[in-house]
A and B are shown apart, each in its own frame.
Chain A
Amino acid sequence: MLNIAITIAAVLMCLSLMLNLWRLFKGPSRPDRILALDTMYINSIALIILFGIFSRTTLYFEAALLIAMLGFVSTAAMCKYILRGDLIE
């Protein structure tokens, strides 16, 4: 039962990752693209957690944690860049 749920979830996540990449290609504006990247971070977290549940291990949890934390910093930095140009003022 769990495996079926994981498979379905993984397929959906892959689908959304591909759609994210499509948005990234298409744009058209910079915020669109940054948003696409940020969503990719979120979806990768989901993939890693799914993989952890599937493998019955907690070993990958920290990777997900780091993506969550650092992905935010990356997105914030890019937004700051298009808002002000200068990251650290």
Chain B
Amino acid sequence: MNLLWVVLLPLIGTLVPLFTERFGRNICAFCVALLPAWSLILVLMYAPDIFNGQAIRQTIEWIPAIGLEVSFRLDGLSLLFLLLILGIGLLVILYARYYLSLKDSMSRFYVYLMLFMAAMVGIVTSNNLIQLWMFWELTSISSFLLISFWSHKSEARKGARMALTVTGAGGLALLAGLLLIGRIVGSYDLDTVLASSDIIHAHAAYPVALILVLLGAFTKSAQFPFHFWLPHAMAAPTPVSAYLHSATMVKAGIFLMARFYPVLAGTDLWFIIVSLTGLTTLLLGAYIALFKHDLKGLLAYSTISHLGLITLLLGLNSPLAAVAAIFHIINHATFKASLFMAAGIIDHESGSRDMRQLNGLWQYMPYTATLAIVAALAMAGVPLLNGFLSKEMFFAETLNQSVLGSLSWTIPLLAVIGAAFSVAYSLRFIHDVFFNGQPVDLPKTPQEPPRYVRIPVEILVALCLLVGIFPAFVVGDLLHIASFAVLDHTVPVHNLAIWHGLNLPLLMSFMAMVGGVILYYNRRHLFEFQSHFDTTDAKHIFERTIQSLVKAAESITNTLENGSLQRYVFTLLLCTLVMGGLPLIELTQNSGTRASIPLDGVTIVCALLMIFSAVATVIWHRRRFLALIFLSVVGLIVSLTFAKFSAPDLALTQLSVEIVTIILLLLALFFLPQSSLKESSNRRLSVDLLVAGLIGCVIGTLCYAMLTTPLNTMSDFFIANSKTGGGGTNVVNVILVDFRGFDTLGEIIVLGIAALGIFKLIANMRIAIPARDDKGRAWSNDPHPMMLEVVSQSLLPLALLVSAYIFLRGHNMPGGGFIAGLITSVAIIQQYIAHGVQWIKPRVTIDYQWIIASGILIATATGLGSWLFGQAFLSTWFDYFSLPWIGKFELASAMLFDLGVYLTVVGAVMLILANLGKLTTSERLDIQENN
């Protein structure tokens, strides 16, 4: 058996609906139920061990280097929640089968539901804080999908968004809290954390961690002031409400508090925050619930109220209260799920959820009414039903606390008032819906629902009764082991019995009953009183807040990102200036100890040429063709500089890149204005000039300081190992294809993607071109001068030969796949220029996309090939051979990799340049004909 499967089975279950939907709804629902049922059986097989007081753990290493592992545990608390999640989940699957109409996509619903179920199972079985948080977020996302299931409804979308925002924000707080706890304890392992209660309590960051974790729990469990999302989540289909908002999602927050009870509870801070939040939520929820006309709205606020009750119990810092809290978790889940299902049946069969329309349904659906009434009585806390027991324990606990010092006697009083409202709204649920005259304007005539949709309700109501009558027999053990886990192995003596004798809690129950009946009887006065208040819809406030947030974010974005490239460059350079310039001020000496290289005349002349051309490029930047020529001079001199300072590889690369760039610019230049207008003010110009000048000074100083300081760089390693490790004497090439081969692989993939992106952008673009040049002269009539054609054609084989030569010698001498690829591309482009597209088309029939793809594939396959020999990805192999006539030569797997680089470069450059060239091909002819 494997604990992992308990989580994996529901997760795999998300795929089941996709494959079984075609076989009809019954089979689909049946198959969907199989995997969670299997998971439930697994859990039950573990149960005997758990009841013996063990906790089962299973850990799989994930990223051991940073202490991340996938770890699961099953203890009493997890078992309790697993039974609720999987058990009620199965009932909901059955219920949803009959609830969803033919218009709703059943497979979509089940996929979301199973995803949610898997996430919940993950939360309660996680033994690692980060993993727990991951499942926590998964519940937020899957509940968003479930709430917005009827995405055509505006309120469903808004409700889902609200739930996601609130619980997602809480999730972030929780992550921060869990990280903090992990930092305090030094481990994310739950076992370790649960055993470190003293360390956490004593740590200075404990209050912060506590508040962050509680924020996560309170948002999820809809505690005041975050309760507002829950009523709006009622826009979800009723099976979702029955599942998420009774037994699972909102209980996740409660689970979190129970899980961390041993380490976070027990302090005054916990006491104050949790108990007061719980009390406020309890009273607020109970009060508002009475005034809701919507059946599900009433249940939603009632849920908020009951969650508040559980929170209050957990906050009391007393072991018995914690037991009562756990007991109420079970009871609330059973009666609230059945009530939601009953509400769904009523909605389904009568077409309305408004209690002002729903009256006297008893005569139409007596059987459903009986079930709903029993469940509602359990909610009210009537004896012989489960709600009574936990409520009585709750009353008993409120008497044993001192939250408010000498004012603590108010807590039991407030508890009774809350309970009275709870009785009142339960009565309203019963009386308004099933009795109280005749239905008003119902869209449908109500009737009993199909047999199977009632089964889940029957099971849950039966549980309410069983627990209510034989509490110790039915849930005694389960409650004991769950408390055992929460209270760190010391469970106080508690007596699950209906009759504890005539005592104060019983009297309080009685008072609540009587008070509730009185409240309900006088409800018209209450409604009248309530109508004097403005009821602000939380949705509007929420939407308004979100809108203003979005507006603020937009205005910040628009201020920073106003679309002016000059501005971006300006900001970027200014930041560089501050970041790079400030440390330079602290640098007292900018020249290092390394001796200067002697200066010679040629170098000085070349430097002057470069400076003049660079300045000329800037001065004439508005006359674009001219600027391009000056730019070519700069590029040429840079290549010469590389050659002069012993970097022939760089010189070759720079030269070929230079030419490809010029062709690219010439191609693009034609579609742009030949000269640009002066747009910047003089002030702007001088500011820009100042910043640019300063940047120049900073970069110059940096370079000078760098170059004159002798440094031990990585180059020494590469130079020493190039021949022995990579089998090549050209260090640059060995770095590219061997030492840093993985980088190169990434780069050629990016190059390929960029080329495909450009191709996609311009594939169907056609630009009409002017019939005259910028001086108004007509173009030459000869598109392909014969002299150019002849020379270019004879250049092609020579260029390809040079390219092959550069490629082959690349490993040992300056050269390599990249340069060779550029040379080949330039040679082919020259044919395009000389002969035109029409001439090339029948002669080059290979798609350039295929060349890119095969290049990347060859490079990747070379890397993968080393796996066959048990080596790491991209390890190179080389050896020396000799053949007659040729002599000794070397073969290296790096050469195959270089071939991949070569092909990718050729494919990418050709794809971009040839397609840029094709932009005008057809249009040009038309214009000429028009002339």
Establish whether residues A44 and B640, one from each chain, have CB atoms under 8 Å apart when the complex forms.
yes
Taking the nearest CB of chain A, how far is it from the CB of B838, in angstroms? 9
Q: Within residues 810 to 852 of chain B, which ones have a CB less than 8 A from any CB in chain A?
A: 813-815, 823, 826-827, 829-830, 832-834, 836-837
Asked if B577 lies at the interface with its beta carbon under 8 angstroms from chain A, I say: no
Partner of A37, one of B629, B780, B802, B836: B629
Establish whether residues B636 and A88, one from each chain, have CB atoms under 8 Å apart when the complex forms.
no
Establish whether residues B666 and A78, one from each chain, have CB atoms under 8 Å apart when the complex forms.
yes
Taking the nearest CB of chain B, how far is it from the CB of A31, in angstroms? 11
Establish whether residues A81 and B655, one from each chain, have CB atoms under 8 Å apart when the complex forms.
no
Give the interface segment out of B320-328, B494-502, B581-589, B917-925: B917-925
20 A-B residue pairs with Cβ-Cβ distance under 8 Å, sorted by A, are A14-B601, A24-B633, A25-B616, A33-B629, A37-B629, A47-B602, A62-B815, A70-B655, A70-B659, A72-B791, A73-B663, A73-B833, A74-B658, A77-B663, A80-B833, A81-B625, A82-B773, A83-B780, A87-B666, A88-B833
The residue on A at minimum CB distance from B913 is A88
Partner of B795, one of A25, A72, A77: A72
Q: Within residues 3 to 27 of chain A, which ones have a CB less than 8 A from any CB in chain B?
A: 10-11, 13-14, 17-18, 21, 24-25
Q: Within residues 767 to 807 of chain B, which ones have a CB less than 8 A from any CB in chain A?
A: 769-770, 773, 779-780, 782-783, 785, 788, 791-792, 795, 798-799, 802, 806
Establish whether residues A88 and B670, one from each chain, have CB atoms under 8 Å apart when the complex forms.
no
Query: Bound state CA distance, A25 and B814, in angstroms?
Result: 34
1/0 contact trace for B30-61 toward A, CB 8 Å?
00000000000000000000000000000000
Asked if B662 lies at the interface with its beta carbon under 8 angstroms from chain A, I say: yes
Establish whether residues B773 and A62, one from each chain, have CB atoms under 8 Å apart when the complex forms.
no
Taking the nearest CB of chain A, how far is it from the CB of B111, in angstroms? 51
Q: Which residues of A contact B (CB under 8 A)?
A: 10-11, 13-14, 17-18, 21, 24-25, 30, 33-34, 37, 40-41, 44, 47-48, 51, 59-60, 62-63, 65-67, 69-74, 76-78, 80-89
User: Which residues does chain B contribute within 8 Å of A18, judged by CB atoms?
Assistant: 605, 608-609
Contact A33/B830 with A59-B814, A81-B670, A85-B670 known, Cβ cut-off 8 Å: no
Asked if B644 lies at the interface with its beta carbon under 8 angstroms from chain A, I say: yes
Asked if B248 lies at the interface with its beta carbon under 8 angstroms from chain A, I say: no
User: Which residues does chain B contribute within 8 Å of A25, judged by CB atoms?
Assistant: 612, 616
1/0 contact trace for B611-640 toward A, CB 8 Å?
011001000000001100110110010011
Partner of B630, one of A24, A71, A77, A86: A24
Q: Which residues of B contact A (CB under 8 A)?
A: 601-602, 605-606, 608-609, 612-613, 616, 625-626, 629-630, 632-633, 636, 639-640, 643-644, 648, 651-652, 655-656, 658-659, 662-663, 666-667, 669-670, 769-770, 773, 779-780, 782-783, 785, 788, 791-792, 795, 798-799, 802, 806, 813-815, 823, 826-827, 829-830, 832-834, 836-837, 913-914, 916-918, 920-921, 924
Query: Bound state CA distance, A11 and B216, in angstroms?
Result: 78
Partner of B643, one of A63, A71, A74, A86: A63
Query: Bound state CA distance, A85 and B917, in angstroms?
Result: 11
User: Which residues does chain B contribute within 8 Å of A65, judged by CB atoms?
Assistant: 802
Query: Bound state CA distance, A70 and B636, in angstroms?
Result: 11
Establish whether residues A86 and B829, one from each chain, have CB atoms under 8 Å apart when the complex forms.
no
Greatest chain B CB density within 10 A among A65, A67, A78, A87 is at A87
The residue on B at minimum CB distance from A86 is B920
Establish whether residues B601 and A62, one from each chain, have CB atoms under 8 Å apart when the complex forms.
no
Taking the nearest CB of chain A, how far is it from the CB of B800, in angstroms? 11
User: Which residues does chain B contribute within 8 Å of A82, judged by CB atoms?
Assistant: 625, 773
Query: Bound state CA distance, A17 and B608, in angstroms?
Result: 11
Establish whether residues B629 and A86, one from each chain, have CB atoms under 8 Å apart when the complex forms.
no
The residue on B at minimum CB distance from A30 is B625
Partner of B601, one of A10, A33, A59: A10
Establish whether residues A85 and B769, one from each chain, have CB atoms under 8 Å apart when the complex forms.
yes
Query: Bound state CA distance, A77 and B829, in angstroms?
Result: 10
User: Which residues does chain B contribute within 8 Å of A59, judged by CB atoms?
Assistant: 648, 813-814
Taking the nearest CB of chain B, how far is it from the CB of A3, in angstroms? 12
The residue on A at minimum CB distance from B661 is A74
Establish whether residues B643 and A48, one from each chain, have CB atoms under 8 Å apart when the complex forms.
yes
Establish whether residues A89 and B666, one from each chain, have CB atoms under 8 Å apart when the complex forms.
no
Query: Bound state CA distance, A61 and B749, in angstroms?
Result: 32
The residue on B at minimum CB distance from A88 is B917
Query: Bound state CA distance, A18 and B669, in angstroms?
Result: 28
Establish whether residues A66 and B921, one from each chain, have CB atoms under 8 Å apart when the complex forms.
no
User: Which residues does chain A contribute within 8 Å of B644, judged by CB atoms?
Assistant: 51
User: Which residues does chain A contribute within 8 Å of B612, judged by CB atoms?
Assistant: 21, 25
The residue on A at minimum CB distance from B628 is A78
Partner of A77, one of B652, B666, B799, B836: B666
If A34-B629, A73-B663 are given as contacts, then 9 extra A-B residue pairs at C-beta distance below 8 Å, sorted by A number, are: A21-B609, A24-B633, A69-B802, A69-B823, A83-B785, A84-B783, A86-B920, A86-B924, A87-B833
Query: Bound state CA distance, A68 and B535, in angstroms?
Result: 84
List the 4 shortest-distance A-B pairs measured between CB atoms, nearest first: A88-B917, A14-B605, A70-B659, A83-B780
Partner of B833, one of A47, A71, A76: A76
Partner of B667, one of A37, A41, A44, A87: A87
Query: Bound state CA distance, A28 and B53, in angstroms?
Result: 97
Establish whether residues A66 and B652, one from each chain, have CB atoms under 8 Å apart when the complex forms.
yes
Contact A87/B613 with A70-B655, A70-B656 known, Cβ cut-off 8 Å: no
User: Which residues does chain A contribute within 8 Å of B813, judged by CB atoms?
Assistant: 59
User: Which residues does chain A contribute within 8 Å of B837, judged by CB atoms?
Assistant: 88-89
Establish whether residues B632 and A74, one from each chain, have CB atoms under 8 Å apart when the complex forms.
yes
Taking the nearest CB of chain B, how far is it from the CB of A11, in angstroms? 7
Establish whether residues A66 and B626, one from each chain, have CB atoms under 8 Å apart when the complex forms.
no
The residue on B at minimum CB distance from A22 is B612
Taking the nearest CB of chain B, how far is it from the CB of A22, in angstroms? 10
Contact A62/B799 with A37-B629, A82-B773, A87-B666 known, Cβ cut-off 8 Å: no
Contact A88/B836 with A44-B640, A62-B814, A63-B655 known, Cβ cut-off 8 Å: yes
Contact A76/B788 with A17-B609, A40-B633, A62-B815 known, Cβ cut-off 8 Å: yes
Establish whether residues B633 and A47, one from each chain, have CB atoms under 8 Å apart when the complex forms.
no
Query: Bound state CA distance, A60 and B669, in angstroms?
Result: 33
Partner of A74, one of B605, B662, B799, B832: B662
Establish whether residues B602 and A63, one from each chain, have CB atoms under 8 Å apart when the complex forms.
no
Query: Bound state CA distance, A60 and B785, in angstroms?
Result: 34
User: Which residues does chain A contribute within 8 Å of B833, judged by CB atoms?
Assistant: 73, 76-77, 80, 87-88
User: Which residues does chain A contribute within 8 Å of B826, judged by CB atoms?
Assistant: 69-70, 73
Query: Bound state CA distance, A73 and B913, in angstroms?
Result: 14
User: Which residues does chain B contribute within 8 Å of A83, judged by CB atoms?
Assistant: 779-780, 782, 785
User: Which residues does chain B contribute within 8 Å of A48, judged by CB atoms?
Assistant: 640, 643
Establish whether residues B795 and A69, one from each chain, have CB atoms under 8 Å apart when the complex forms.
yes
User: Which residues does chain A contribute within 8 Å of B655, judged by CB atoms?
Assistant: 63, 66-67, 70
Query: Bound state CA distance, A66 and B814, in angstroms?
Result: 12
Query: Bound state CA distance, A18 and B611, in angstroms?
Result: 12
Query: Bound state CA distance, A66 and B836, in angstroms?
Result: 24
The residue on B at minimum CB distance from A72 is B795
User: Which residues does chain B contribute within 8 Å of A81, judged by CB atoms?
Assistant: 625, 666, 669-670
Taking the nearest CB of chain B, how far is it from the CB of A12, in angstroms? 11
User: Which residues does chain A contribute within 8 Å of B670, judged by CB atoms?
Assistant: 81, 85-87
Query: Bound state CA distance, A88 and B791, in angstroms?
Result: 17
Contact A63/B663 with A37-B629, A87-B917 known, Cβ cut-off 8 Å: no
Establish whether residues B769 and A86, one from each chain, have CB atoms under 8 Å apart when the complex forms.
yes
Establish whether residues A73 and B830, one from each chain, have CB atoms under 8 Å apart when the complex forms.
yes
Query: Bound state CA distance, A2 and B348, in angstroms?
Result: 104
Query: Bound state CA distance, A83 and B785, in angstroms?
Result: 10
Taking the nearest CB of chain A, how far is it from the CB of B212, in angstroms? 62
Taking the nearest CB of chain B, how far is it from the CB of A84, in angstroms? 5
Query: Bound state CA distance, A84 and B788, in angstroms?
Result: 13
Query: Bound state CA distance, A67 and B115, in angstroms?
Result: 63
User: Which residues does chain A contribute within 8 Å of B914, judged by CB atoms?
Assistant: 88
Partner of B773, one of A63, A70, A85: A85
Establish whether residues B806 and A62, one from each chain, have CB atoms under 8 Å apart when the complex forms.
yes
Query: Bound state CA distance, A47 and B651, in angstroms?
Result: 14
